[in-house]
Amino acid sequence: MKSKPLHTSMRMAIALGIFLPLAETVRRIHEVLAFENFFRWFDDYTLGAVLLCSAFLVWKQKQNATLYLIAAWGTAAGGLTLSLYGQFDGYFKNNPDAGIFSSGFVLIAKALILFYILIALQQSIKSTNHQA
């Protein structure tokens, strides 16, 4: 791999691709077996898979892999932004979080994850300047 920013973004995708499904499983452990709540937690599994697949393409140096990684980070940024807005709405309406953590903790965690995603997106975009 020629580009350090691309390598950094790939490693960040692997880390978040593993972290998101695990964190959501812990957060909503009481809802995992309830089918009616499936779509409340499965989006993090899907996002984790997208990040891991795009990181794998970069690792294997497949054609257009950087573009797939940028798209994965863009999708993650959009999804987390909407999730963060929803968390803000619930927090200010004093609605408790559906998971086992406090609404304030989840709000801060989602903001930090979004910041992480934006850094990784910036690194993957920056890597396109280093490629021929």
Q: Using one digit for the tens of pLDDT, what is the confidence trace for 61-114?
A: 999 999 999 999 999 999 999 999 999 999 989 888 878 889 999 999 999 999
> Which residues are within 8 A (CB) of 81 and not within 5 positions of it... i.e. 6 or more apart?
114
Question: Residue 124 class from Cβ within 10 Å (0-12 exposed, 13-18 middle, 19+ buried)?
Answer: buried
Closest among 13, 14, 5 to 131, alpha carbons compared: 5
**Based on C-alpha coordinates, what's the Rg of the chain?**
16
Q: What is the pLDDT of residues 14-41, one digit of tens each?
A: 999 999 999 998 988 887 777 777 877 7
Q: How far apart are CA 90 and CA 26, in angstroms?
A: 20
> Which residues are within 8 A (CB) of 114 and not within 5 positions of it... i.e. 6 or more apart?
77, 80, 81, 84
Q: What does pTM read for this prediction? A: 0.90
The answer to whether 9 touches 65, Cβ cutoff 8 Å, is no
